[in-house]
Structure 1
Amino acid sequence: MPFSPFLSLNFLLYFMYYKLLSFSILIDIEVERVSLKKAALWLAGLSLLVKLSGFLRESIIAREFGASVYTDGYLLAFSFITLVVAMIAVGFNNVFLPMYVQKRKNAPEQTERNANAIMNVTVLLFLGVSIIGWLLAPLLVPFIYGNMKPETEEIAIEITQFFFLFMSVIALNGILESYLQGRRIFVPAQISKLLSALMGAVFALLFSDIWGIHSLAYGFIFGTVLGILVQLFFLLKKGWRWSPALKIEKDFRRAFVVLLIPSLLNSVVGQINIFVNKAFASNTVEGAVTYLNNASLITSIPHTIYGTTIAVIIFTLLSEQVDNLEKFQNTFFMGMQISLVTLAPIAAGLFLVGEEAIAFIFQRGQFTAEDTYNTYLALMLYLPIIVAQGLQYIVSKSMYARGKTNIIFRISVTTIALNVLLNWLFVGPFGYPGLALTSSFVSLYYLTVSTIFVYRDFEKKEATRLFGLVGRVAVVTAFMAVPLYFLKQLTPISDLYSLWQLLIIVPLGVALYALGLFLFYKEGFRQMISIVKRKAKG
C-alpha cells in the first residue's frame, strides 16, 4: 500500500512532540536522558510501522473481501482477542508494572521470583480459558452478538474457536511486554506488535485464495509467536531468567490481587462496551461492523501510537515519582500537553480530509465508493475520541500509578449502562453511525469524571493551568481548520483525486498550525524551534 500523506502528517506531529518529551526528560532525569530519548524515537518509528502494517492488512481485506458478511464475522471473532489483550496490556500491566518497579528497587531477587510465579500462574489460567472457550464458542458467539446473518455467524464461530486455542500464547506475549517496560526496555514490544499485524497482512495476501478470511487469523497467531521469541531474546539478553515458580510470597500476592481485581474488571468493562456496540451493529446493515471497524481504525492511529509510546514512558515516570507530588504533577501536565497539542489538530484534520483518507486507503477491489461514504459517516462521529482517549491515557495511568484502581473501576462500570442506553436511543434514528456517536459520548463522560478525581489531589493552580492549555490549543486548532474548510467549499479542490487533495491540504494544515502556534501559543512555538535547532546541532 502506498504511504499516505495523511499518515505522514501524524508522523511529523508526533516526531516533534516526541522530541519535546525527550527534551523535558533531559531536564528532569539527567542521568537517563540518552536511553529514554532513544526509546521515544524508536517507539515513534516502530509504532508508525505497526499502524502502517495494520492499514496494509485492512487494505488487503478491503480488496479481497470488501465490507461483507465475511469481514463482519472475522471482526466479531477478533473481539475476543482484543478482550485478552486489554486484560493483560491494561488490567495486568497497570498493576504489575508499578509493583514490579517499586519492589525491585529494594528486593530484586525476591521480586523476580514473585514476578516469575505470577507469569506462570497466569499462563496456566489462560490454558484453562483456551479449553473452555473452544468448547463454548458455538454457544457463546450467538449469545453475545444476537441474530447475525447465517454466514457471519458461521465464520465468527470458526475463527473464535481458533483464537481460543492460542489465548495463553497471546497472554504470555502481553506479560512479557510488562516485564520489558519494568526494565525500561520499550522497543521489543513494538517489534512484537509489528510482527502480529504484518504477518496477518502477509498471510492474507499469500493464502486468501486457499484459506479465505481465516488466513488473517492464522497470520496473526504466527506473528504473535514470533513476537514472543523476540521479547524473550531481549529479556534474556538483559539478564532475565525464567524459573518454574508457582508460589508467590504472601504479602506480594495479597497486594497484587487486591489491586488486580478492580483493574481487570475495569479492562473488561471497556471490552463489554465494544461487544455491546458490535452486537447492535451486527443487527443493522450488512457491512456495518466493517464500517465501524475501519472508521475506528483510522481514529485509533493517534491514540494507539501515543498509548504505546509516550504513555508507556510517562506511566513509568509516574510510577517512579508517586512519592514526589511536584514532579508527579509536572509529568502529568506534560502528558496532557503533548496529548492536546498533537491530537486536537489531527482530529480537525480528519474532519476535513477523512473521506479522502478512507478512499485512498480502502477504496479498491470489493470496497466501493458507497462503502467509503458509509465509513466516513461513522468516522465523523468518532472524532472526539481521538482527543478524549489520548487524554484518558494520562489520566488513567496517573491513577493506576497511585494505586487508585477501585476509583477507576467504579467510574468505568457506569459506562456500561450509559453505553447500552445511548446505543438503544441512537441506533434507531441514526443506524450504525449512532453507535459511533455513543462511543464518543461515553469516552467524553469517562474522561471528564476521572479527570475531576485526579485534580482533587492536585494543587488548585494545576486545574487553571490545564484550562489555559485547552483554550490555547482550541484557538490554534481553529486557526488551522477554518481556512481549510472554506478552501474545500469554495474551490474545485474537492473534485481532485483523493491523493492530490491530501497532498495539498495536509501540508497547508501543517503550515497553518505552526503559524497558529507562533501567533497564539508562543511558548509552544519556541519549544519546537529550540528542538529543531538542537536536532540540527546534534
Structure 2
Amino acid sequence: MSTLKKTAIWITLLALFLKLSGFLRESIVARQFGATEFTDGYLLAFSFITLIVAMISGGFNNVFLPMYVKHKKDRAEETERNANGVMNATVMIFLVVSVVGAIFVPYFVPFIFGNMSPTTEEVAVKMTRLFFYAMSGIALNGILESYLQGRRIFVPAQISKILATLMGAVFAILFSEQMGIYSLGYGFIFGTVVGIFIQFYYLLKSGFSWSPTLLVETDFRKAFIALIIPSLLNSVVGQINMFVNKAFASGTGDGAVTYLNNASLLVAIPNTIYATTIAAIIFTLLSEQVDDKKKFQNTMHMGMMISLVTLLPIAVGLFLLGKEALTFIYQGGEFTAADTQNTYIALVLYLPMIVAQGLQFIVSKSMYARGKTATIFKISVTTIALNALLNWLIVDDLGYPGLAVTSSAVAIYYLTISSIVVYKDFERSEITRLLTLFVRVLVPTLLMAVPIYLLKEFTIVGELHYLIRLVGLGLLGVVLYVAGLYLFYREAFRQLLALVRRKKGQPNKS
C-alpha cells in the first residue's frame, strides 16, 4: 500500500467489521444458550485460545517485528532465511504443545478453574481439548500476521481474524442443534484454517519464499531467544491474571463468567480496533525510529495523544449509554433483562481499562521497540500478586463485580509504573506535555457528557425506546465531542486529520 491513509482506512473498516462479527457470534450465543453453565464452560475453554493469541500477537510479535525490520535493512537475504527458520521452529513447538495438551486436558482444566459445576466442567474439558487439537494452526495464523506486518501488509491479517470469528457465528446458526455449543469451536477452527491460506498467499505474493528449514543464524537466534523469553513470560502474565479472575468468577454463581465476558467484550471494542490499526502502525514506526530520539519521542507522544483523544470519550459514552448497547447486543431469547443489568454493573467497573490499556499499548510498544522486554516482564509479573491479593480481599464481599474492580485497578497500576520507567529516559518537557494532554482532552469530553446526561435523566428522552436513545444520543455525543475538540484542542483535531494524510514512515511532529 502506497500511503498510511489507505492502510489505516482499510484496516479500521475491517477491524470494525471484525467486532461486528464478534458481537454477532456473542449475540447468537446469548440468545441460544443464555447465561448458563454451558456458556461459562465455553468461555473458560476459550481462555486457552486467548492465551495462544496473546503469546503470538504480543510475545512473539513484539520481539520479531523490531528484529526483522532492523536486520532486513542491511542483510535482507539472511534475514528472510532466519525468518523461515523461526516460523517453522515455532510451529513445531506448538505442534508438540497441541498433542501433550490434548492428552492432559482432563487434569489441568479442573485444576486451573477450580469450583466449576459438573456441566461447566464437562463443557470446558471437551471444548479445551478441541482447541488444543488446532493449537499449532492457531499459532501459525498469528505468526503469519507478524511476518506480514513486518512487510507493512496489514489487511490480510484482519480478514483472517474476521473469518475465525464469523465462522463461529455461522456454524452456531447452522449446526447448533446437531453440535450444541461445540459448533462455536468447530466454526472458529474452520475460519482459522481458511485465514492461514489467505495470509500465506499474501506473504508469498510479497516476495517471501518459504523453505522447510529450522536453521537460524547463531547471532540472530541468540538475540531472538534472549528477547523472546521475557516477552513470552510477559504475555503469559496477563493471561495468568485472566485465569485467576475466571477461577474466582466460576465460584461466584452460574452466569458470572458470562456477565464478565460480555461486559469485557464491549469494553474491548475500542482497544481491539485501536491495537490492530493505529497502534500497529505506530509500533512499526517506533521500531524504525529507535535510533532517532527526537522522532521516537514525537511518535510516542502522537500515539499517547491519539489514544486519549479517542478512548476517553468512548469510555464516558459507554458509561452513559452502555446499558442501551448491552440491551441491543445481548438481550433476547435466553438472555433476560436481569442478565443485561448484571452485565452493565460489570461494564461500568471495567470502563477505566479502556483508557488505561489504550495508553499502555503505546508505552509497552515503545519499550519493546527499544528491546526492553525484560523490564516489561519485571513490571508485569508484579501484577499477578496484586491481582490475586485484590481478588482475595474483595471478591467474597462484592461477588463477580469485584473482579471487574480488580481488573481496572491492575490496569491503572501497570500503566503508571510502565510510564514512570519510560518517561524517566525522556526529556522533562515530555512529562509536562503528557500531563497537559490529559487536561486538554477532559474539556471536550465534559462538553459531550454533560448534555447527554441531562437529556437522559431529566427529559422525556430517557423514556424513549432504548434503540432511539442509543443512536440519537450517540450521534449527538459524536457531534458535541468533535466540536469541542475543534474549539478547545485544535492541535489534536488537526493531528488526527494529518495522521491519515502523511506518507508512511513520516511521523507527524507535534
Note the C-alpha offset of 1:492: 2.6
State the partner residue of 2:299.
331
Selected match of 1:402 from 364, 370, 380: 370
2:354 — aligned with what?
386
Say which of 162, 184, 187 aligns to 2:152: 184
TM-score by length of 2: 0.96
Match of 2:25 in 1: 57
2:196 is aligned with what amino acid? Answer: I
For structure 1, which segment, 511-520 or 249-258, has the greater mean C-alpha deviation from structure 2 after superposition? 511-520
**Distance apart, 1:270 and its partner CA:** 0.2
The residue that corresponds to 1:145 in the other structure is 113
Shift of 1:533: 11
Deviation at 1:482, TM superposition (A): 1.7
Written as runs of structure 1 = structure 2, the 5 A alignment for 1:230-249 is: 230-249=198-217
**Separation in structure 1 between the aligned mates of residue 135 and residue 389 of structure 2, nearest angstrom:** 32
Q: Give the counterpart letter for 2:95 in structure 1.
A: L
Q: How does 1:280-291 map to 2 (within 5 A)?
A: 280-291=248-259
Q: Give the aligned residue type for 2:434.
A: L
Does residue 348 of the first structure (1) align with residue 322 of the second (2)?
Answer: no
Q: Which residue of 1 aligns with 2:395?
A: 427
Note closer, same or farther for the CA distance 1:103–1:532 as it changes in structure 2 (3 Å cut).
closer
Aligned mate of 1:490, from 441, 444, 458: 458
Alignment CA distance shift 1:164-1:478 (3 Å): same
1:142-179 superposed Cα distances (whole Å, 9 cap, x missing partner): 00000100000000000000100111001100111110
> CA offset at residue 522 of structure 1?
2.8
Q: How far 1:519 moved relative to its partner?
A: 3.3
Matched, 1:203 2:171: yes
Query: Which of 105, 108, 111 pairs up with 2:76?
Result: 108
1:502 is matched with 470
Contact 2:452/2:477 (8 A) holds in 1: yes
- Shift, 1:517, TM fit: 1.7
In 2, Cα distance between equivalents of 1:252 and 1:382:
41
Within 5 Å, which residues of 2 pair with 1:350-389?
350-389=318-357
| Letter matched to residue 355 of structure 1 | K
Cα deviation digits, residues 232-283 of structure 1 (max 9, x gap): 1101111111111112111111000000000000000000000000000000
Aligned-partner Cα distance in 1 for 2:497–2:157: 32
Query: Match of 2:3, SS?
Result: helix
In structure 2, how many angstroms separate the alpha carbons of the residues matched to 1:127 and 1:401?
29
User: How many Å separate the matches in 2 of 1:496 and 1:430?
Assistant: 32
Unaligned ranges ≥5, structure 2: 503-510
The residue type equivalent to 1:476 in the other structure is P
The answer as to 2:383 corresponding to 1:446 is: no
Aligned pair partner of 2:102 in 121, 134, 142? 134
1:262 to 230, 236, 239: 230
Q: 1:285: how far off?
A: 1.4
Residue 321 of structure 1, aligned match among 264, 289, 303: 289
Per-residue Cα deviation, 1:35-70 (whole angstroms, up to 9, x for no partner)? 322111111000001000000000100110011001
State how far apart, in whole Å, the 2-side matches of 1:354 and 1:362 are.
12
Contact 2:279 2:362 in 1 (8 A): yes
Secondary structure of 1:316's counterpart equals helix
1:473 partnered with 2:429: no
Does 498-507 or 520-529 show the bigger shift? Answer: 520-529
In 1: Cα distance, 2:501 partner to 2:286 partner: 29
Aligned residue pairs total: 502
Whichever residue aligns with residue 179 of structure 2, its letter is W
State the match for 2:123 in structure 1: 155
Output the CA distance in 1 between the equivalents of 2:499 and 2:410.
37
Map of 1:67-86 to 2, 5 A cutoff? 67-86=35-54
Structure 2 distance, partners of 1:84, 1:428, is: 30
Residues 1:42 and 1:198: Cα distance change in structure 2 (over 3 Å): same
CA-based RMSD: 1.4
1:214 aligns with 2:182: yes
What runs of 5+ residues in structure 1 fail to find an aligned partner? Answer: 1-31
Partner of 1:88: 56
Which residue identity lines up with residue 84 of structure 1 in the other structure? Answer: I
AA aligned to 2:202 is F
Contact 2:5/2:499 (<8 A) preserved: no
Q: For the residues of structure 1 that align with 2:120 and 2:37, how far apart are their CA atoms?
A: 5
How far did 1:524 drift? 3.0
2:278 aligned residue = 310
Partner of 2:505: none
TM-score of the superposed pair, with normalisation by structure 1: 0.92
Residue identity opposite 2:140 in structure 1 = L
For residues 495 and 117 of structure 2, the distance between their equivalents in structure 1, rounded to whole angstroms, comes to 55
- Per the alignment, do residues 526 and 333 of structure 1 end up closer, same or farther by CA in structure 2, a change over 3 Å counting? closer
Q: CA shift at 1:485, angstroms?
A: 1.2
Q: How many Å separate the matches in 1 of 2:214 and 2:401?
A: 48
Identity of aligned residues (%): 67
Higher mean C-alpha deviation, range 407-416 or range 113-122: 113-122
